[in-house]
Chain A
Amino acid sequence: MNKRLFVKGNEAVCIGAIAAGCRYYFGYPITPQNEIPEYMSRELPGLGGTFLQAESEVAAINMVLGASAAGARVMTSSSGPGISLKAEGLSYMAGSELPAVIVNMMRCGPGLGGIDASQADYFQAVKGGGHGGYHMIVLAPDSIQELYDLAMVAFDLADQYRMPAMILGDAMIGQMKEALIPHDYKPLGELPNKDWCVTGKRGREKGNTVKSLYLADGALEAHNWRLHGRYQDLKDQQVRCETIGIEDAELILTAFGSTARIAKTAVSMARQAGLKVGLIRPITLFPFPEQIFRQATERCNRVLCVELNNGQMVEDVRLSVDRQADVRFYGRPGGTGSLPTPEELFEQLQKHYKD
């Protein structure tokens, strides 16, 4: 199990998912995540699982809904335009309290846009994406190893909190190759019994119903407060975040996913140049590491948020620090040749450090 692998990000997330017990995958091709359905179509049949190429993204997410309702660990993947088509199913799954893992290897948009890396689906991922007011768990890996690790985490959190979990990567992290050291899957904690799922009654006295319709007086409000309570529990217990040198920082740089990789190089360039720059890298985008930002900005009152879009996560950073810090933004909206270089970010650090 510990043999070092040299794989693409899109493959790493599959290897992690399969190690976590995922045996069902339903999806539809879209660049830049096609290695995911290709890998699953190769591997799942031999493991007694099911790969099915759906007729559409809409059908794919509803097959996921059905398989999840039937109690299985199930995954789908897509990129921007396909995730938009899945939004209806995701809302129903959130309403029906169904766990599943959805991978979004973001490409640039809006519309057909392009196939290069972007982080412009941040709002869509963390604010719900579909109708009716809900959240998903959103995890943002910045390496091939972390894609593998977080695939396991995503399945466990989805089961524990009975909601969809999204792994939010992008074209760069999905398409690049680097070393992966697989490890055995260990559940995060005790996983709940899926006694709510549909199997046919098989002697059970009452039939199980998986639904999102609540018509009785006050029932839907109570249901929504129950879901809200779960989001609150996630904020209290499941925040994941990497920090570098924020203890003595005069300026905190924040970025997630592939942009954070570039940011890390820029931060070390800044440190070498004698600038006290720290980094906060949210790994969970929902729940957002609000407390970490709040604590860090009790002494350092300047934050630079860097994203591969025109400014989305920066809004959550501002809400988290609640005016106790000066939050600035630098972003590029993605597209061919639009990836910021470490030198470019270092320049931004120098600029925002001074004024």
Chain B
Amino acid sequence: MITVFERPRSLKPVSSHFCPGCHHGTVHRLVARALDRLELQQQTIGIASVGCSVLLYEYFDIDVVESPHGRAPAVATGVKRVHPDSIVFTYQGDGDLAAIGTAEIIHAANRGENITVIFVNNTTYGMTGGQMAPTSLGGQVTTTTPYGRDLEKDGNPIRMAEMMALLDGTHFSARVAVDAPKRVAQAGRVIQKAFEMQKNGAGFTFVEVLAACPTNWGLSALDANERISQEMMPCFPLGTFKDLSASQG
């Protein structure tokens, strides 16, 4: 018998709390599969952030530290400095990484901390009930932009993957999406590459994942997937914005 699909060893055999159509489960799988393929499960420490992703330790079969809202890159820095031979990753949403934690992510990147950041961008605050995020699109209706995000008043969506690429300490920065099978496969390859670079001691690696929050978007799972390609991608183009792996051999 040939096994063509199975649960990654780095995930526990449990059901998740995520809403129907939510992409956290998909991204969890991709991260876990990358750890499996690179045989890193035994040496990996995950840093959980605040929001829907805080329950990382319920799903990943690895060591996990929970961090305060936005501070995961600082917590990761402390962990990595004590255990430089470990693989350390943060898993953060857009409110966590691009609003309250902007300082921490920029400085961890700028120091070139040898960690991997998985940034799940769904343009809203999921767990708190759908408020405006720094990545919310112009005109996006949220519970705190009931008339739509006004770019004049509320500011503009932040493009983190591009910003990260500008910093000297960043060795890899890319944006992927998980709205269609082909792109899920591509996202998996990019996430694995980021971990591989960390394993090789490259430095700071950053992967932004465009993902859906059907519950707070008020859309069906399929329509939510549609929104990623139709509305999000024009503002958040997919691609690799920096990759120093070639120059490092």
Interface residues of A (CB under 8 A from B): 24, 26, 50, 52, 54-56, 58-60, 62-72, 74, 88-89, 92, 96, 198-203, 207-213
14 A-B contacts, Cβ less than 8 Å apart? A62-B68, A62-B75, A65-B75, A66-B67, A66-B75, A66-B80, A70-B45, A72-B82, A88-B68, A89-B71, A92-B67, A92-B68, A208-B63, A208-B64
Known contacts A198-B63, A202-B42: does B81 contact A62 (CB below 8 Å)? Answer: no
Residue total for B at the interface (Cβ-Cβ under 8 A): 36
Contact in complex: B74, A70 (CB < 8 Å): no
Contact in complex: B57, A200 (CB < 8 Å): no
CB-nearest residue of chain B relative to A59?
B74
B82 is contacted by which of A67, A92, A201, A207 (Cβ under 8 Å)?
A67
Q: Which residues of chain A come closer than 8 Å to B45, judged between CB atoms?
A: 70, 198-200
Task: With a 10 A CB-CB cut-off, give which of B44, B61, B64, B77 has the most chain A CB atoms.
Answer: B77
CB of B139 within 8 Å of the partner chain: no
**B171 → chain A closest CB, angstroms:** 19
CB-nearest residue of chain A relative to B85?
A200
Contact in complex: A200, B83 (CB < 8 Å): yes
Q: State the 5 A-B residue pairs at the shortest beta-carbon distance, nearest first.
A: A66-B78, A62-B74, A70-B82, A67-B78, A200-B43
Q: Which residues of chain B come closer than 8 Å to A24, judged between CB atoms?
A: 78, 81-82
Q: Which residues of chain B come closer than 8 Å to A201, judged between CB atoms?
A: 41-43, 61-63
For the complex, what is the distance from the CA of A207 to the CA of B68, rounded to whole Å?
Answer: 20
Known contacts A55-B104, A58-B71, A67-B81: does B63 contact A200 (CB below 8 Å)? Answer: yes
Contact in complex: A54, B66 (CB < 8 Å): no
Contact with A along B120-142 (1 / 0, CB 8 A): 00000000000000000000000
Q: Which residues of chain B come closer than 8 Å to A207, judged between CB atoms?
A: 57, 60-64
CB-nearest residue of chain B relative to A98?
B65
For the complex, what is the distance from the CA of A65 to the CA of B74, rounded to whole Å?
Answer: 9
For the complex, what is the distance from the CA of A203 to the CA of B78, rounded to whole Å?
Answer: 23
For the complex, what is the distance from the CA of A72 to the CA of B80, rounded to whole Å?
Answer: 11
For the complex, what is the distance from the CA of A63 to the CA of B47, rounded to whole Å?
Answer: 12
Q: Which residues of chain B come closer than 8 Å to A202, judged between CB atoms?
A: 42-43
**A254 → chain B closest CB, angstroms:** 37
CB of B86 within 8 Å of the partner chain: yes
Known contacts A58-B103, A199-B86, A200-B87: does B64 contact A66 (CB below 8 Å)? Answer: no
Known contacts A200-B42, A201-B42, A211-B57: does B67 contact A62 (CB below 8 Å)? Answer: yes
CB of B79 within 8 Å of the partner chain: yes
Q: Which residues of chain B come closer than 8 Å to A92, judged between CB atoms?
A: 66-68
**B55 → chain A closest CB, angstroms:** 8
CB-nearest residue of chain B relative to A210?
B65
**A320 → chain B closest CB, angstroms:** 34
Given contacts A55-B104, A212-B66, 12 further A-B contacts (CB under 8 A): A54-B74, A54-B107, A62-B68, A65-B71, A70-B65, A198-B64, A199-B83, A200-B42, A200-B45, A200-B63, A207-B61, A209-B65
CB-nearest residue of chain A relative to B12?
A207
For the complex, what is the distance from the CA of A24 to the CA of B63, rounded to whole Å?
Answer: 21
B65 is contacted by which of A72, A88, A198 (Cβ under 8 Å)?
A198
Contact in complex: B78, A62 (CB < 8 Å): yes
Contact in complex: A63, B75 (CB < 8 Å): yes
Task: With a 10 A CB-CB cut-off, give which of B43, B47, B64, B82 has the most chain A CB atoms.
Answer: B82
CB of B76 within 8 Å of the partner chain: yes
For the complex, what is the distance from the CA of A180 to the CA of B71, rounded to whole Å?
Answer: 38
Contact in complex: B83, A52 (CB < 8 Å): no
B75 is contacted by which of A55, A69, A208 (Cβ under 8 Å)?
A69
For the complex, what is the distance from the CA of A195 to the CA of B93, rounded to whole Å?
Answer: 30
Known contacts A199-B63, A203-B42: does B79 contact A52 (CB below 8 Å)? Answer: no
**B106 → chain A closest CB, angstroms:** 8
Contact in complex: A200, B65 (CB < 8 Å): no
Contact in complex: A96, B82 (CB < 8 Å): no
Q: Which residues of chain B come closer than 8 Å to A26, judged between CB atoms?
A: 78
Q: Which residues of chain A come closer than 8 Å to B43, judged between CB atoms?
A: 200-202
For the complex, what is the distance from the CA of A211 to the CA of B66, rounded to whole Å?
Answer: 5
For the complex, what is the distance from the CA of A88 to the CA of B107, rounded to whole Å?
Answer: 19
B71 is contacted by which of A59, A67, A72, A208 (Cβ under 8 Å)?
A59
For the complex, what is the distance from the CA of A24 to the CA of B41, rounded to whole Å?
Answer: 26
Which B121-174 residues have C-beta < 8 A from chain A?
none
Q: Which residues of chain A come closer than 8 Å to B106, judged between CB atoms?
A: 55
**B231 → chain A closest CB, angstroms:** 33
Contact in complex: B42, A70 (CB < 8 Å): no
CB of B54 within 8 Å of the partner chain: yes
Q: Which residues of chain B come closer than 8 Å to A210, judged between CB atoms?
A: 64-66
**A141 → chain B closest CB, angstroms:** 26
**B87 → chain A closest CB, angstroms:** 7
**A55 → chain B closest CB, angstroms:** 4
Contact in complex: A69, B62 (CB < 8 Å): no
For the complex, what is the distance from the CA of A208 to the CA of B106, rounded to whole Å?
Answer: 28
For the complex, what is the distance from the CA of A69 to the CA of B57, rounded to whole Å?
Answer: 14
Known contacts A59-B103, A199-B83, A200-B42: does B66 contact A96 (CB below 8 Å)? Answer: yes
A71 is contacted by which of B60, B66, B82, B104 (Cβ under 8 Å)?
B82
Contact in complex: B83, A69 (CB < 8 Å): no
CB-nearest residue of chain A relative to B86?
A200
Contact in complex: B63, A66 (CB < 8 Å): no
CB-nearest residue of chain A relative to B84?
A50
Contact with A along B169-200 (1 / 0, CB 8 A): 00000000000000000000000000000000
For the complex, what is the distance from the CA of A63 to the CA of B86, rounded to whole Å?
Answer: 16
For the complex, what is the distance from the CA of A122 to the CA of B106, rounded to whole Å?
Answer: 34
